[in-house]
Amino acid sequence: MTDLPPQHDLAPQPATEPRRTAQFALVALVVAVALLGAWTAVQTGRGDTALLFVGVPTLLALGLVFLPTRGGWGSLFQAVTLVLLLVSALMHEGAICVLIASPLVYGVTAAIYGSIRLARSATQRQYSGLPLAVIAVLALEGTVPGLRVDPEQRAEATTSVPAGCAAFEQALRRGPRPQASDRSRLLDLTGYATPVAATGDGLSIGDHWTLTFAAGAIDTEVTDAAPGRVDFTVLDDTSKTARFVRLRTGTLTWRATQGTCEVQMIFDYERKLDPSLWFGPITDRMMDAGAAAFLHSLAR
């Protein structure tokens, strides 16, 4: 009688390929849901709010952390990167937008993912839900009218003109002469837009000036003028900066001091992106650098 081979030799091997396919399908489903959330935020006019920059990453992290997969942190960051790229294509965003928003998106996703994993495995869980609670509050900013933190901001820059105020006033009547050397390293590294040309017809009340950018322009009108001071209002803004801020007014002042001319440029604007905890300081730095570049173009 012929001996039969051991039973375990005849047992079927684990179906690893179907399992991997199922896991991939689940991850793809979570990514699709996150993209749907981003699309919904944009279509409902909340593409500038914390609902997009905090809420969607939270949704992605919640979906991935409860999947029966073993991808862990690697799969998380791969999914976040994919969603970032797809959302930037969906919203036609440039590299600067992705550069500014990506640390926030990665940070929110990691905080949610890590806190939930901690809550599921740690013996001391009383603080594991704190990041989720904080982020849930942050995600509400901008979603409801009036629910914003300090959206009205101000950019300032000051410089001294050694040639004196008479020379500065003559240059001012000639108008800004932007050059690449006016831009700081911060503006160059981030690609933040500044004017490349300017045209206008004077500095009297009612006169107009147009600041031309590589893409778009800002149209302004002089609303007040006095010795040592010019105020203007922004009439229209089609530049790339309009994605981040809504420029309202500007004030240019100058005065003689110790043989030089001290010049100050002030822009009042509304920050369009939330949450303020992240975009407030970033917008402030960018706009201050932009104001300084504009001031250099005037003091030439």
Beta-carbon contacts of 198 under 8 Å, excluding residues fewer than 6 positions away, are: 175, 176, 177, 178, 209, 210, 211, 212, 297
The whole-number pLDDT of residue 69 equals 60
* Report field, pTM of the whole predicted structure over 0.75: yes
12-35 average pLDDT score: 68
pLDDT of residue 294: 95
**What residue type is assigned to position 3 of the chain?**
D
Q: CA 123, 129, 135: angle at the middle one, nearest 5? A: 155
3-state secondary structure of 241: helix
* Residue 12 confidence (pLDDT) above 50: no
Each domain of the chain, given as residue ranges in start order, spans 14-138, 152-298
Least confident of 39-48, 90-99, 122-131, 190-199: 122-131
All residues at 6 or more sequence positions from 229 whose CB lies less than 8 Å from its CB, including other chains: 251, 252, 253, 254
Of 111-125, 233-247, 252-266, least confident by mean pLDDT is: 111-125
- Give the sign of the dihedral formed by CA 166, CA 287, CA 248, CA 219: positive
Structure tokens of 212?
A: 């031309």
Q: Closest Cα to residue 265, out of 157, 114, 141, 109?
A: 157
Two structure tokens written together for 20: 């991997």
Give whole-number Cα distances, 102 to 67, 108, 138, 144, 278, in Å.
Answer: 24, 10, 16, 24, 11
Which of the listed ranges 6-10, 25-29, 67-71, 121-125 does the model predict with the highest average pLDDT?
A: 25-29
The per-residue pLDDT for 225 is 95
- Contact partners, residue 261, CB within 8 Å, separation at least 6: 160, 161, 163, 164, 165, 167, 168, 254, 255
Q: CB–CB of 43/77 below 8 Å?
A: no
Class of domain 152-298: alpha beta
3-state secondary structure of 251: strand
